[in-house]
Amino acid sequence: MGKRQRDCITCGAPVGFLDRQHCCRCWHRIREQAAKTACPSCGKDRVLQEDTGRCITCSRVCEQCGHPVRAAHDRLCGVCRRKAERLAAQQPCPRCGKPGHLREETGWCGRCSHPGSPKRPPRSCRECGQVRRHAGLGLCSACWQKHPGRPFIRGEHLRDQLANPPTWLEDFVAHVAARFCVSRACGLVADLGRLLQDEHSNSPQALLERSRRPGRSMGPFARTLEDFFTQRGLALPTDQAERLAAGRRKRRIDAVPKPLRPAVAAFDISRMRAQDRARRAGTRPRSHHTLETALSILRDLARFLAEHRGKDDWALTDVHDIEAFLGILPKARQRRLVVLRQFFRFARSQHIVLVDPTRGLTAKQAGGFRGRTLTLDQQRDLFRRWTCDDDVHPHEALLGILALLHGASSSEVRMLQITDVNQRTQTVRLGKRPHPVPMDPASWTVLQRCLAHREGWPTDNPHVMVTKGTKAGRGPASTAYLSHVLDDCGYPARMIRSTRLVDLVNTMDPKLVAAAFGMDPEATMIYLADHVEAGRLPTSR
């Protein structure tokens, strides 16, 4: 050490270097402290290892479980080391072949040396009479799986396991036992038990929210809970329909090219805001189908502009682009033009475009009926198919015969309930028709056949047309199911119904037809023929 230059500012010891203010001992301590960092495992100030990023003590971990190992020469922690020693001492058992500790008195492992109690001898099943081992209540396994009392036994066990069982538990067990098979009912009771035994709230609304599966379907258990709680007024219905509609709208918006997407998203937000205002005001809000159809049209227009016109801005759209787009599907011109007018009015109000390119366009379509109808021979074939052929599904026969003879739409048949059928007067109430519709013998026979088919389902669904997916709930059959019911006959329901309406309107007073069907008088005028029969004209002289 050189000559003393000054005193150390930390400890007061002599400092022998001109450029330092600390003694050698304090200088080395400061350098060591600067090299240390807080270890992420233990939190102490240590020199971290470059390969692990932790201190040297925390860097020694067990190769199997990852726990810290204190001794530098050990590769396993104490627990894993003892486990490895036990496994090394095991030998394969001569009886079962599994590794274990062999007993000196038997030469076998512990399980084989101490066998369990012998199984009970097979007995005669009190249900099927076969000699088999019993699973419970004197029944064999096959009969026990089908025993109708299993859900109620499972419910009693669940009630005994709960410290504070809900008052509606027995009603729920009876609800699922009457609507599902035995195994599915027991599974639903087990699912309910898992929810009731967790740490969250057991209120009906909280249970309903936790039972929903993520994704497009909330699951059969959540649907069952929703039907049970809403039927008894214990909880509010879920927003599953709104979630599905939001997902469908989002997929349509995401399919729009990126430069044109913000305007379509803003248009969708404004339409949703208008739907909410109409719902709160008690007026008729736009349905989800209407909003989704509008987004589909805008998606197609955006793709057309980006791929075929080379335009990535709505402000560049002109009337020629709109005309070219409407010419792709001439039959959908009127519907597409209505949506495009609504969008460009919104875009102009938001200063997205300066000029509305749809202002001078017209639909240029006649207002008369342009659909297809059935010939008389085709109607006779369908009538014989639905009244004489027993192999035809009752749902097909009901929808077809009501559309052919009574002009019923798919929605009217879909929403038809048991309470709408009057067995005494043999009439039914269809949709919004002001008066009950009297059934002819053929239609009444088809309806009774459909009701007999419904009796085969263990269901409390109030609708006449019950499917496998709706038998456990109270909702009507889906529109997708109704759209494919008549696939086997080869004709859609709209064509069959239009045939009946065209015949009635051209042979009767259209106003009487509108009054009988609950339609507006203007709706029946489109079915009037645009020609006059030669037999009704006065003889020319």
CATH number for the domain harbouring residue 476 = 1.10.443.10
> Of 231, 248, 264, which residue sits at a domain end?
231
Q: Within a domain: residue 459?
A: yes
| φ, ψ at 37 (rounded to 5°) | -140, 155
Give the separation between CA 73 and CA 71, rounded to whole angstroms.
6
392 and 340, same structural domain? no
Report the percent of the chain where pLDDT is more than 90.
Answer: 50
Residue 7 lies in a domain: no
181 and 250 belong to one structural domain: no
- Token pair of 384, please? 């014989």
Q: Which residue has the tokens 């189908």?
A: 289
464 within 8 A of 380, measured Cβ to Cβ: no
403 and 513: one domain?
Answer: yes
Reduced to 3 states, what is the DSSP secondary structure of residue 40? coil
* 315 and 218 in a common domain: no
Nearest C-alpha neighbor of 76 from the set 86, 87, 62: 62
- 110 within a domain of the structure (yes/no): no
Examine the fold and report which residue of 209, 231, 253 is the final residue of a domain before the chain moves on: 231
**Structure confidence by residue, pLDDT tens digits, 293-321:** 999 999 999 999 999 999 999 999 999 99
Q: Is residue 227 domain-shared with residue 249, that is, in the same domain?
A: no
The answer to whether residue 171 sits within a structural domain is: yes
Same domain? For 316 and 454 the reply is no
- Does any domain span residue 78? no
Domain that holds residue 440: 376-525
Distances (CA, A) of 269 to 265, 436, 507: 6, 42, 48
Q: Are residues 209 and 251 in the same domain?
A: no
Q: Do residues 23 and 35 lie in contact, with contact meaning Cβ atoms separated by under 8 Å? A: no
Residue identified by tokens 């330092």 is 20
381 and 509 inside one domain: yes
* Res 84: pLDDT: 80
Q: What is the mean pLDDT of residues 163-177?
A: 92
Segment (H or E) for 446: helix 441-455
pLDDT of 466-523, one tens digit each?
Answer: 998 888 888 899 888 999 999 999 999 999 999 999 999 888 888 888 888 888 888 8
Q: Look at residue 40 and tell me if it is in a domain.
A: no
531 pLDDT more than 60? no
Look-up: residue for tokens 């998606």? 299
Task: State which of 208, 231, 254 marks the end of a domain.
Answer: 231
In angstroms, what CA-CA distances link 299 with 244, 251, 329, 386, 407? Answer: 19, 10, 15, 42, 36
**Same structural domain, 383 and 513:** yes
pTM for this one? 0.65
CB atoms within 10 A of CB 50: 5
d(CA 37, CA 136): 66
pLDDT the model gives residue 190: 93
Residue 302 is predicted with a pLDDT of 95
For residue range 217-241, list pLDDT tens digits in order.
888 899 999 989 998 899 998 888 8
Sequence-ordered strand ranges (E) for 62-161: 91-92, 99-100, 123-124, 131-132, 134-136, 139-140
Kindly report the number of other CB atoms within 10 A of residue 473's CB atom.
Answer: 19
**Do 380 and 499 fall within a single domain?**
yes
* CA distance to 152, 305, 404, 487, per residue, from 482 (Å): 36, 36, 16, 10
Q: What is the pLDDT of residue 217?
A: 84
Q: Which pLDDT score, from 0 to 100, does residue 367 have?
A: 65
| Backbone phi, psi, residue 101, to 5° | -90, 115
Residue 37 lies in a domain: no
Task: Tally the domains of the chain.
Answer: 3
> 226 and 244: one domain?
no
Whether residue 185 is contained in a domain is answered as yes
Say yes or no: 395 and 495 in one domain. Answer: yes
